[in-house]
Amino acid sequence: MKEDPGYYEYWPYENRPKISWPNGAKVAFWVAPNIEFYELNPPNNPFRKPWPQPSPALPGYTSRDWGNRVGHARQMQLLDKYGIRGSISLSTALCDHHPEIIELCKERNWEFFSHGIYNTRYTYGMTEAQEREMIKDSIETIYKHTGQKCAGYLAPALSHSDHTLDLFAEVGTELFGEAAGFYSCDLFHDDQPTPINLRQGKRFVSIPYSLEMNDTIAYLVQKITPRRYGKELKDNFDRLYAEGAESGTIMCIPTHNYQVSNAHRIKAYEEALEYITGHSDVWVTTGKEIAQFFLDNYYDAALDDIKNKKQQYGNFG
Amino acid sequence: MATLDNDYLKYPERSYGMDHDRYEWKMLQDRKAVQWPNGKKIALWVNVGLQFFPLNQKGIPFKVPGGMTKPYPDLRHYSLRDYGNRVGIYRFFKAFDRFGIAPTFAMNTRLAERLPYLVGTLKERGNEIICHGYDMDSLHYGGQDMKEEEALIARALDGLRSLTAQDIKGWISPAKNESANTPDILASNGISYFCDWANDEMPYDFSTKNGTLVAMPLPTELDDYFIINNNLHAAEDWADQVTDAFEFLLEESSIGGGRVLGLNIHPWVLGQPHRIQYLERVLEKLSSHPAVWSTSGGEIATTWKNQQ
């Protein structure tokens, strides 16, 4: 075990090379619906219990199932209304279980990225070979069912190993070269994209996927009211929009159909979407498009800046 | 770090539909629209939990949410739950009658055994009573001995039927928790609908070894205990959330057909003097709306079933 994951350098949030998003936008805004499948009878993992009760653990299972049966269509209708293409964090077994949902997303040209096979199968305890196989399965499944070359990764249930990002990048290259496996949503250290150090040196970025704006964190961990959540989304946007005048920022709303689409919550979410997309200088986009744009335009300048600052101030760790 | 067996990467249920055979996979938007009587849009199901939390809680296999948390004797939690059955419920009755609400009472059989006065009041009122298990500490759970569970369910249902003189058709397990056998046992004991699977917004057919049950949508997310005691929101926030849910469902009903607004409430939570006004506020708003049909769980289940 390491003191620091070693994925990125300390890079202070001032005097960075200025980012200009397409059409002069101040904020790159993306919505990442997690479309997940949780199993009724998952196998044991010695490091994390999938459910608090012995299977069948109805409270957790039924809530997630509600998201697919009811919640998905509701959120999709909202994203259509505000011209937002979802960037889906996908439990890829859902392609087999619920292909109707995949078809609806394909019709809308939404992005699919990997969130593992099931959200009840954790990376903890996997050998490197097992984790590689799981990641490969997920990327191949996305390609088989959608024709998309998976660009991004969010580890299932945010369960990681020391090699997760390396393996994702390497499997992406093995299957599709530079066209796959080039961004991660697993790190929460910044409001702008940052280059990630990988063992094979692939050009790879971390794209902010906010844990703070995540509906499940807001509702299950912070336990805030829906109206408060709507207010926090607007507050988060206001600050990132203002700062984006100086250098482009990113706002992400990671959602879960079993949380944000509840009848008592969806109105507050809609008000926030209406507010955000009602601003003129917002680039409404997807995770992959942000990552690609940064790699094409700013990645090299970022690396140079990080290197120069490291030389000037020493290694921050 | 210990490593996992390669079976951890095998997925025996990875195929079309659910990972079990209890019900069909179908998104709500792809199902037949339901029409409620008299052109109503929202079936309002006010479901009142009448619960007995034993002081000598065993907590097998877990402590029921809302139960005792302190070392024995946990008088604070015992007596505050009891408050609901002594005081809060009488505030509820007044509110229901004032606003013309038809509530459903989900009762622990042990509570009915202990409180003949309350049972008498319920019988006089004539509202539907459903079974909420034997008591809040008699959980149904994965790994439970089937004979033991069969005896528990029979005891709960036979007892409640005899005490209330109602042919009990509905069921909610304590903590909405089940074993893999619970639905089969319920179906063989004369239950026609149950409310443990909070995975839908509308009723749906649920297969058992002993016939089909109707699974009824009673959202945990709008439960007063969940919002006020688990999420620590104020009663006023509960009222706001119910209002927002109602308005959204009403809008959705214009394209999707009739909807159910299931409110699971507890007299020891919303029956408190500082909270009851927010229940009254919600009931006043809902009962005065022309699109609302206030009715029982059983009536909603039957009306839905007759249109399938």
Structure confidence by residue, pLDDT tens digits, B232-279 = 999 999 999 999 999 999 999 999 999 999 999 999 999 999 999 999
Q: Which residue of B has its CA nearest to A138?
A: B9
Cα of B62 vs its chain's centroid, Å: 19
Model's pTM, two decimal places? 0.96
Note whether residue B23 is domain-resident. Answer: no
Rounded Cα–Cα distance for residues B24 and B207 (Å)? 9
Rounded Cα–Cα distance for residues B72 and B137 (Å)? 15
Q: Which of B158, B105, B151 is nearest to B132 (CA)?
A: B105
3-state SS record for chain A: CCCCCCCCCCCCCCCCCCCCCHHHCCEEEEEEEEECCCCCCCCCCCCCCCCCCCCCCHHHHHHHHHHHHHHHHHHHHHHHHCCCCCEEEECCCHHHHCHHHHHHHHHCCCEEEECCCCCCCCCCCCCHHHHHHHHHHHHHHHHHHHCCCCCEECCHHHCCCCCHHHHHHHHHHHHHHHHCCCEECCCCCCCCCEECCCCCCCCCEECCCCCCCCHHHHHHHCCCCHHHHHHHHHHHHHHHHHHCCCCCEEEEEEEEHHHHCCCCCHHHHHHHHHHHHCCCCEEECCHHHHHHHHHHHCHHHHHHHHHHHHHHHCCCC
| B269 CA: distance to closest CA in chain A (Å) | 18
The per-residue pLDDT for B3 is 85
DSSP state of B275: T
| B76 CA: distance to closest CA in chain A (Å) | 24
Q: Which of B298, B29, B36 is nearest to A77 (CA)?
A: B29
Yes or no: say if A255 and A75 are a contact pair by the CB < 8 Å rule.
yes
Q: Do A53 and B62 touch (CB under 8 A)?
A: yes
pLDDT in tens, A35-88: 999 999 999 999 999 999 999 999 999 999 999 999 999 999 999 999 999 999
Contacts of A265 in chain B (CB under 8 A): 241, 244
- Residue B72 sits in a domain whose CATH number is 3.20.20.370
Note whether residue B13 is domain-resident. Answer: no
Percent share of chain A, pLDDT over 70 = 99
Q: Do B4 and A130 touch (CB under 8 A)?
A: yes
Burial degree of A227 (CB within 10 A; 0-12, 13-18, 19+): middle
Q: Do B142 and A54 touch (CB under 8 A)?
A: yes
Mutation target among B238, B244, B247 for the A interface, most CBs of A within 10 A:
B244
Q: Which residues of chain B have pLDDT under 50?
A: none
Yes or no: say if B291 and B42 are a contact pair by the CB < 8 Å rule.
yes
Contacts of A145 in chain B (CB under 8 A): none
Query: 10 Å Cβ neighbour count for B168?
Result: 23
The per-residue pLDDT for B2 is 72
B78, amino acid identity: Y
The per-residue pLDDT for A302 is 98
With an 8 Å Cβ cutoff, is A301 touching chain B?
no
The per-residue pLDDT for A111 is 98
| B167 CA: distance to closest CA in chain A (Å) | 27
Report, at the CATH architecture level, how domain A22-313 is classified.
Alpha-Beta Barrel (3.20)
Q: Do A268 and B244 touch (CB under 8 A)?
A: yes
Q: Is the pLDDT of residue A263 over 70?
A: yes
Q: Would you state the structure tokens that stand for residue B84, as one six-digit string?
A: 């609901």
CA quadruple A181, A187, A191, A195: dihedral positive or negative? negative
Task: Please tell me the total count of domains within chain B.
Answer: 1
The per-residue pLDDT for A314 is 80
Q: Which of B90, B48, B100 is nearest to B285 (CA)?
A: B100
- Structural domain boundaries, residue B293: 33-306
Q: Would you state the structure tokens that stand for residue A251, as one six-digit string?
A: 């706002």
Q: Would you state the structure tokens that stand for residue A46, as one six-digit string?
A: 């010695």
| Inter-axis angle of helices B235-256 and B276-287, nearest 10 | 20
Q: Would you state the structure tokens that stand for residue A253, as one six-digit string?
A: 């709303």
| A64 CA: distance to closest CA in chain B (Å) | 7
3-state SS record for B199-260: CCCCCEEEEECCEEEEECCCCHHHCHHHHHHHCCCCHHHHHHHHHHHHHHHHHHHHHHCCEE
pLDDT in tens, A224-259: 999 999 999 999 999 999 999 999 999 999 999 999
Q: Which of residues 138-197 of A touch B (CB under 8 A)?
A: none
Q: What is the H or E stretch that residue B115 is in?
A: none
User: In this predicted complex, what is the ipTM?
Assistant: 0.97
With an 8 Å Cβ cutoff, is A9 touching chain B?
no
Residue whose pair of structure tokens reads 């946990």 in the numeric block:
B74
A269 Cβ neighbours under 8 A, 6+ residues apart: A78, A215, A226, A229, A230, A233, A255, A260
Phi-psi region of B68 (alpha: psi -120 to 50; beta: other; left: phi over 0): beta
Of A73, A130, A133, the CB nearest to B27: A73
B163, amino acid identity: L
Mutation target among B8, B22, B264 for the A interface, most CBs of A within 10 A:
B8
Q: Which of residues 223-262 of A touch B (CB under 8 A)?
A: 223, 225-227, 262
Enumerate the domain spans of chain A: 22-313
Q: What is the dihedral of CA B68, B69, B72, B74, to 10 degrees?
A: -60
Rounded Cα–Cα distance for residues B82 and A132 (Å)? 55
Q: CA triplet A144, A148, A149: central angle to 5 degrees?
A: 100
pLDDT in tens, B24-46: 999 999 999 999 999 999 999 99
pLDDT in tens, A155-179: 999 999 999 999 999 999 999 999 9
B10 Cβ neighbours under 8 A, 6+ residues apart: none
CA quadruple A33, A46, A56, A54: dihedral positive or negative? negative
| A209 CA: distance to closest CA in chain B (Å) | 25
Note whether residue B278 is domain-resident. Answer: yes
- Relative to beta strand B170-171, strand B193-194 is parallel
Question: A316: pLDDT confidence band, cut at 50, 70 and 90?
Answer: low
Q: Which of B253, B257, B270, B262 is nearest to B286 (CA)?
A: B262
| B273 CA: distance to closest CA in chain A (Å) | 22
What mean pLDDT is reported for chain A? 97
Q: What is the H or E stretch that residue B194 is in?
A: strand B193-194
Note whether residue B118 is domain-resident. Answer: yes
Query: 10 Å Cβ neighbour count for A125?
Result: 19
pLDDT in tens, A186-239: 999 999 999 999 999 999 999 999 999 999 999 999 999 999 999 999 999 999
Q: Would you state the structure tokens that stand for residue B160, as one six-digit string?
A: 């409640």
Q: Would you state the structure tokens that stand for residue A20, as one six-digit string?
A: 């200009």
Q: Do B27 and A68 touch (CB under 8 A)?
A: yes
Q: Is the pLDDT of residue A315 over 80?
A: no
Q: Do B2 and A125 touch (CB under 8 A)?
A: yes
pLDDT in tens, B77-88: 999 999 999 999
